Structures are given as structure tokens and as C-alpha cells.
Amino acid sequence: MKPIVVFILSVILVSCNAGESHKRIDNTKSISRGYAGIDVSWHQGSIDWVKASKDFPVDCFVYIKCTEGASYQDKNFKTYAKGAKKQGLHIGGYHYFRMTSSAHEQFKNYKNALDVIDGDLIPMVDVETSDKRPKKDLQDSLQVFLKLLEKEYGKMPMIYGTMRSYNTYCAPKFNSYPLYIGRYGKKAPIVNGPSHYTIWQYSETGTIRGIEKPVDLCSFHKSKSITDILL
């Protein structure tokens, strides 16, 4: 996950067994048994959800970049959401939080786009930059944004960050929220303070039939499952 001014974000495919890449398996609870979901943005290019869905695990979730700041909306958000939903996947949108506009303006932009897809995943907020503003200012503004989402959708939203960005800007103040933490490799992310991740984004080089470019692969913490992120 990256701001629109930076090239990146990749997402998906890692199979439990290389020889069974096309077999749908129930692997939502343990990273050793495969990935549980992905996240995508316009960087993924063309996606054939019919082909891609054949490689996905049971109850696969897909988070799609929805908005950024007060006005930007991902150009592929609606198309991706429609295609993924048609294949019976759990879908949701994420918002890239910026300090260049108010929490209320960003909430309005996000809600207007998110409500169109009628997804079934809790809202997610991507926090990776302070835009050179003081940490306290970022946390105060983020708190307003999160409370607006919780009031609107009736569930605590999830916070995304790399292990570094989350621990730098958010921990431990927001540790009570569901956390979607990026740390690529075999070592699980560590959250500063008394908490742990809900979802671990462990790879940015996954490949899946039907998806033009690499994608991020994600797995649940051993104590979590898809029920923890459903609306």
C-alpha cells in the first residue's frame, strides 16, 4: 500500500502446495497453510476475477484501495469491487489517510465511494505518513476519523500500516483496533505495546492467474479468522 505519488503495492499468490495451486482450500487460520486474502489497487492493472477466484482459498477476503485524502478515488475501485463480489469474495475498501486535509473531509470522500460497493468487510484505514506533521496532530486527526467510521458502520475499523509506520505513528494508542500489519518475510510483525496483529501482510510478490501484476499476500493471526473482520 502506497500513496498515489509513489509506485508500488503488489499483491498475491502463494499456494499451500505448489502442485495444487488451483485447488480451493480452507486455509484462513494459519500462515503455514497459505494466504487468507489480498489487497489491491490500480497498480495491479487488469484483473480477471473469474480466473483469479479459482486460486483463492475458501472465504478469501479482498481489500481494494478506495480513496486517499479528501478527493482522490482509485480509478479501478468500483470495477474491482464489482468483479470480486460477483465471484462471491469478501470485499472491502481501504482509505489512505493524509494530513493534508481534515478528518471530516476525508471521511466524506471515503464514505461516498465505499457505500457504492455494499461490501461486507469492516472499513480499513492505511496510515503510513504524517505528511511532516507532529505525531500528536496525526493521532488526534486519525482518532476523529476512526470514530466517524465506527459511528457510521457500527464496527471498529481496521488500521493498516507497515510494522515500522504503525509503531512510529500509532502504537500503542490505537492497539485496541484490529490491525493489518505489513512485514515481508518469515518473521511475523511485532506491535509495540500489549497487542498483536489481526492480519499479517507477509508478501508483496504473490502471483495469481488473472491478475496482471504481483500482489500482497495476507494471513490471519492464529487466534483470528474472517469473522473478525466482517461487518
- pLDDT value for 24: 36
If you average pLDDT over residues 171-199, what whole number do you get?
97
Q: Is 128 a catalytic residue?
A: yes
pLDDT in tens, 147-176: 999 999 999 999 999 999 999 999 999 999
CB atoms closer than 10 angstroms to residue 104: 13
Per the model's pLDDT, the better-predicted residue between 96 and 11 turns out to be: 96
Among candidate residues 59, 74, 126, 128, the one labeled active-site is 128
Whether the predicted pLDDT of 87 surpasses 70: yes
Share of the chain above pLDDT 90, in %: 85
Residues 6+ apart with CB under 8 A from 26: 57, 58, 59
Question: Among this protein's residues, is 74 annotated catalytic?
Answer: no
Answer yes or no: is pLDDT of 37 > 90. Answer: yes
pLDDT at 13: 34
Which value, to the nearest 10 degrees, does the dihedral of the CA atoms of residues 212, 113, 87, 11 take?
30
Task: Give the model's confidence band at 33: pLDDT under 50 very low, under 70 low, under 90 confident, else very high.
Answer: very low
pTM here is: 0.86
Active-site entry in 39, 74, 126, 216: 39
Residues 6 or more apart in contact with residue 95 via CB below 8 angstroms? 66, 67, 68, 106, 109, 110, 114, 123, 124, 125, 126
pLDDT (0 to 100) of residue 4: 52
The superfamily (CATH) of domain 18-229 is Glycosidases (3.20.20.80)
Distance CA 122, CA 7 (A): 26
Q: Which of 88, 80, 86, 81 minimizes the C-alpha distance to 24?
A: 88
